[in-house]
């Protein structure tokens, strides 16, 4: 009888490598590994050999870089979605994109289950599983780290020993290191000294994409970007697809110390966690898009858009990408981007992004209105009536308070 198949979300790291023989032992599954390439770089080297050495029958490497950039990253950039005012959602945006690829492979292989290696304390278990529920409600989810009755490994040492007991000798050691997640948009760091909020991050040991600002060059890097309907189209005159623009901005931002944040965030599961995120290109892209938006979007729309941005950041962080609410929020955002077209210029210098001019055919800025000289569209006398009506509630309240105080004084 043919074995049932499980698709394992495979990173090539120790955790997911140890899961391969464990799935075979505990469930007698045919293990299909699926590594979803969303910009991990050289982390993908040697994956097929490692997966098959560990007992997988097949490895898929699904390249989703363009899908990730265009259909997950850019809607959040257009929204200005930032979780707790700092975190640019690098891992949060990637998980629904990864789930989409996992489900595709599971359907192709007629798999009965999808397995992930996320821990029982983190956000990723929620993001993976809500995505699978939404896209493939008939497919079972296996989460080893929550199955403590049959998943008995509690450390890297345990996992290495388990693999060796199965005749799998892997290039992992017992050395401690940061827990990292990397993709096209960012790299995150957790663990080691970061677990003590009183300790400063060891940036010399930690940083992968970015030069610390104090060590960045003592010179300005000038950048010009163009946008069409809220989508970046070129850098310094060179037209590129979105994924390549992010890659280019990662290089420019990394060289100039842009986009390093140290945050204690509130996880969905209720605890606080501390992490350092490097998002050099993303920080620049968000700032450039905002620089253009402030020229072309009216005040009332911008005010509501800020509320939408906060809500969308929360929804994405919580793994609710494939929900009616997320669809509705993204529809609002898309409608605001029709006129977000133009050119932005800025300078990068030691961790700073400095505006250097913005132009758009749809600019709402009127020099004749904004200047101190009187223009044809603005009559200073009109302000009298406006202020009278605008301040009417204040005036009525103040007079009422005066009446009350006068009445008290005469009693």
- List the catalytic residues: 15, 95, 124, 179
Distance CA 223, CA 245 (A): 12
Residues in Cβ contact with 85 at an 8 Å cutoff, skipping those fewer than 6 apart: none
Residue 226: strand pairing partners: 234, 343
Phi and psi torsions of 218, nearest 5°: -85, 50
Q: Give, to the nearest 10 degrees, the angle between helix 382-390 and helix 392-410.
A: 50
How far is C-alpha 411 from the geometric centre of its chain's CA atoms? Answer: 64
How far is C-alpha 279 from the geometric centre of its chain's CA atoms? Answer: 9
Distance CA 252, CA 248 (A): 6
Distance CA 159, CA 153 (A): 6
In 3D, which of 123, 126, 124 has the Cα closest to residue 134?
126
Distance CA 101, CA 338 (A): 30
Neighbours of 120 (CB within 10 A): 13
Neighbours of 348 (CB within 10 A): 24
In 3D, which of 328, 257, 285 has the Cα closest to residue 70?
285
Residues in Cβ contact with 371 at an 8 Å cutoff, skipping those fewer than 6 apart: none
Neighbours of 393 (CB within 10 A): 9
- 366: tokens are 């009127």
Q: Is residue 261 classed as helix, strand or coil in its secondary structure?
A: strand
- 400: tokens are 């009422």
Q: How much is the CA Rg of the chain, to the nearest whole Å?
A: 26
């Amino acid at each position: 009888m043919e074995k049932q198949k499980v698709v394992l979300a495979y990173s090539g790291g120790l955790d997911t490598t140890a899961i391969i023989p464990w799935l075979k032992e505990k469930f007698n599954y045919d293990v299909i590994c699926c590594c979803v390439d969303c910009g991990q770089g050289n982390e993908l080297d040697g994956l097929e050999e490692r997966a098959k050495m560990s007992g997988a029958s097949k490895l898929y490497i699904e390249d989703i870089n363009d899908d990730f950039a265009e259909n997950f990253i850019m809607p959040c950039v257009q929204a200005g979605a930032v979780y707790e005012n700092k975190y640019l959602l690098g891992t949060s945006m990637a998980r629904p994109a990864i789930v989409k690829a996992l489900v595709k492979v599971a359907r192709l292989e007629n798999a009965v289950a999808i397995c992930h290696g996320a821990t029982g304390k983190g956000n990723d278990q929620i993001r993976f599983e809500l995505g699978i529920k939404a896209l493939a409600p008939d497919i079972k989810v296996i989460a080893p780290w929550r199955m403590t009755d049959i998943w008995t490994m509690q450390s890297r040492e345990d996992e290495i020993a388990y693999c060796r007991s199965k005749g799998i000798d892997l290039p992992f050691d017992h050395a401690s290191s940061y827990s990292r997640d990397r993709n096209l948009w960012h790299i995150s760091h957790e663990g080691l000294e970061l677990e003590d909020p009183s300790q400063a991050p060891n940036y010399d040991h930690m940083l992968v994409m970015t030069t610390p600002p104090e060590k960045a060059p003592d010179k300005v890097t000038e950048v010009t970007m163009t946008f069409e309907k809220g989508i970046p189209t070129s850098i310094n005159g060179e037209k590129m697809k979105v994924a390549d623009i992010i890659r280019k901005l990662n290089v420019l931002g990394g060289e100039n110390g842009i986009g390093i944040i140290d945050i204690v965030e509130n996880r969905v599961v209720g605890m606080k966690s501390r992490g350092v995120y490097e998002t050099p290109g993303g920080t620049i892209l968000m700032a450039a898009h905002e620089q253009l938006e402030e020229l072309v979007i009216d005040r009332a729309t911008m005010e509501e858009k800020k509320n939408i941005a906060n809500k969308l950041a929360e929804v994405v962080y919580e793994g609710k990408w494939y929900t009616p609410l997320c669809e509705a929020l993204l529809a609002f955002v898309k409608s605001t981007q029709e006129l977000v077209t133009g050119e932005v210029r800025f300078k990068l210098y030691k961790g700073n992004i400095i505006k250097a001019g913005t132009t758009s055919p749809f600019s709402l800025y009127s020099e004749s209105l904004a200047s101190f000289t009187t223009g044809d569209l603005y009559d200073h006398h009109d302000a009298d009536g406006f202020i009278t009506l605008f301040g009417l509630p204040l005036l009525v309240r103040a007079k009422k308070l005066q009446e009350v105080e006068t009445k008290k004084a005469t009693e």
